Amino acid sequence: MAFLIALGLVLVFVVVLLAKTIQIIPQARAGIVERFGKYKETLPAGLNTVLPFIDKVRYQIDLREQVVSFPPQPVITEDNLVVSIDTVIYFQVTDPIAATYEIADYIQAVEQLTTTTLRNIVGGMDLEETLTSRDSINSGLRGVLDEATGKWGIRVNRVELKGIDPPPSIKDSMEKQMRADREKRAVILSAEGQRQAAILTAEGAKQSSILNAEGDRESQILRAQADRESQILRAQGEGQAIQTVFQAIHDGRPDQSLLAYQYLQMMPKIAEGDANKVWVIPSEITKALEGLGSAVHEVAGIPKKVDGPLTRVDMGPTEPQVPEDGGSTSSSAAVAAAIAEAEVAAHPGRPPEAEQPAPVETTDPSLDPTNVPAVEPQDPPTPLG
């Protein structure tokens, strides 16, 4: 029985001895071994053996990059405003021995160093610069912390400002300022829009005025051209009318009897009108008609009888022709020359008037003035008894 108890005690001692001898260090960690309270060695990750009851693994240092968020710290700016700034530190232990024996609590040391450095940096900035200079504050903090924690076996990788909170009164003032800035930009944009609208409206009115002026100019030109062509056509029509009357006179071979008949037809028209209240008819109407006939048939240039073949005058084209230069046609000039020749033949002693148009040469034989039938000179008219 005593043997079994002794065997059991031996087995328990062996198990405890093995447990003290074999040490398993997790990955990304380092074990600090002390012998009789003094540093002996650093155990790497994995299975390690130490002397039981002599060597002891005092610390296991985490070699991974660590993230520590510090609570907000009150910081006074250059313009004496208190702002709360909370930071985030990214660091990594590079020397487990220095991190164990050079500093008692490196996390607390980093926190206090961050606070003092942050107050030093922000104290030289005003509020506006503090709010807009996060990158420069981060760079300054990282440089100071990395330099100070190097001897502690710690490397600071990044420093970030998680939040910058100004006082509530300052927040209210900033909101009012931002609201005023937005209203200012809105008024400026509205004014710019009205300015652009006015410019575009003026440009549109200018273009409209130019187009209206061009339209009026074109319409006046077209109206002037239409008036010119209508006057030309009207002149050509009058010329053709004169030619037609002239042709009818030659075709009808007028004599003194025709002239007397036309005169008698015009007598009723003489009596027309409101002013003609009394019309006296001669008692001896026969003698009056004889005297009228004797007076009419003595008109120079009108023969008593017309003999010989009829001579027709070429009328030319029936459709009016508009000349390009707007002048009179050669046919109307030839007709005017023929009429002037007839008047000269009827009144040999009368000098030609200065305002009569000069005869125009023409190549159309039908419009030659020589084709007009000659009229016989008559005796001068006898006075009415």
Answer for the pair 32, 55: CB distance below 8 angstroms, yes or no.
no
- What confidence tier does 303 reach under pLDDT thresholds 50, 70, 90? low
CB 170 within 8 A of CB 93: no
What is the distance between the alpha carbons of residues 5 and 69, in angstroms, rounded to a whole number? Answer: 56
Residues 6+ apart with CB under 8 A from 297: 255, 256, 257, 259, 260, 304
pLDDT tens track for 252-281: 766 666 666 666 777 677 666 666 666 555
| pLDDT at residue 90, as a whole number | 92
Per-domain residue ranges for the chain?
A: 20-63, 65-166, 236-267+282-371
Closest CA to 57 of 47, 66, 67: 47
- For domain 65-166, give the CATH number: 3.30.479.30
- Out of 61-65, 164-168, 198-202, least confident range: 164-168
For residue 232, what pLDDT is reported? Answer: 92
Q: Residues 308-337: pLDDT tens digits? A: 454 554 555 555 454 454 444 454 565 566
Q: Please write the tens of the pLDDT for every residue from 118-170.
A: 999 988 888 888 888 888 888 888 888 888 888 899 999 998 888 888 888 88
State the amino acid at position 76 in one-letter form.
Answer: I
Q: How confident is the model at residue 349 (pLDDT cuts 50, 70, 90)?
A: low
